[in-house]
């Protein structure tokens, strides 16, 4: 699997939590993923949901997705068109929820540091994330990252944990 960014969204802060990614005030509203997408990151960047598009990649600092275990914080970004998030680190439950929803996350402190430190220079640049080879390519650098394990790849290929589970159950019938 290989992704090339449409646009980079560069979020400088550490500890961007799930309440900021998907505002808590909408948590108990019965929203579709598309409706959730209209509220993605609205407390962090009010223009994000209006301007994000299919294939965009988020670059972030440490502990992206801290806070609660709400899956909406992953679902809203995926439904908004975010194809990947690259960060220095992720909250553990957010990382697992992203695998379950088939939203690729990449831990790359080196890549994140480069782009965060040169935000103006990279704002309109494309990057490529090659999951098969564990490689991120920017305009002037390459960064290695650990490849997804076989089980996570199967979940991604199925489109998420629910679809993966349905496929597995069909095999047993």
Task: Please give the pLDDT value at position 61.
Answer: 95
Token pair belonging to 149: 């394990």
Q: What is the pTM of this model?
A: 0.91
| pLDDT over 90 at 54, yes or no | yes
Percent above pLDDT 90 for the chain: 64
Cα–Cα distance measured from residue 6 to residue 84, given in angstroms and rounded to the nearest whole number:
11
> Residue 140: left (phi > 0), alpha (psi -120 to 50), or beta?
alpha
Domains (range + CATH), the chain? 2-147 (3.20.19.10)
Mean pLDDT of 132-147: 90
Task: Please give the pLDDT value at position 171.
Answer: 81
């Amino acid at each position: 699997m290989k992704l090339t960014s449409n646009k980079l969204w560069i979020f400088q802060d550490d500890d961007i939590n799930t309440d900021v990614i998907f505002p808590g005030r909408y948590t108990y509203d019965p929203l579709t993923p598309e409706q959730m997408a209209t509220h993605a990151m609205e407390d962090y960047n009010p223009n994000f949901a209006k301007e994000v598009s299919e294939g965009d990649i988020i670059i972030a600092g440490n502990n992206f997705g801290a806070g609660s275990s709400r899956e909406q914080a992953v679902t809203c970004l995926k439904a908004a068109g975010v194809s990947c998030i690259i960060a220095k680190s992720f909250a553990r439950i957010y990382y697992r929820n992203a695998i379950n929803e088939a939203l690729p996350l990449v831990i790359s402190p080196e890549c994140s540091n480069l782009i965060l430190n040169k935000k103006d220079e990279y704002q309109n640049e494309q990057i490529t994330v090659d999951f098969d080879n564990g490689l991120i390519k920017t305009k002037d650098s390459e960064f290695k990252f650990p490849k997804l394990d076989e089980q996570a790849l199967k979940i991604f290929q199925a489109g998420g944990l629910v679809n993966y589970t349905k496929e597995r159950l069909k095999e047993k019938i």
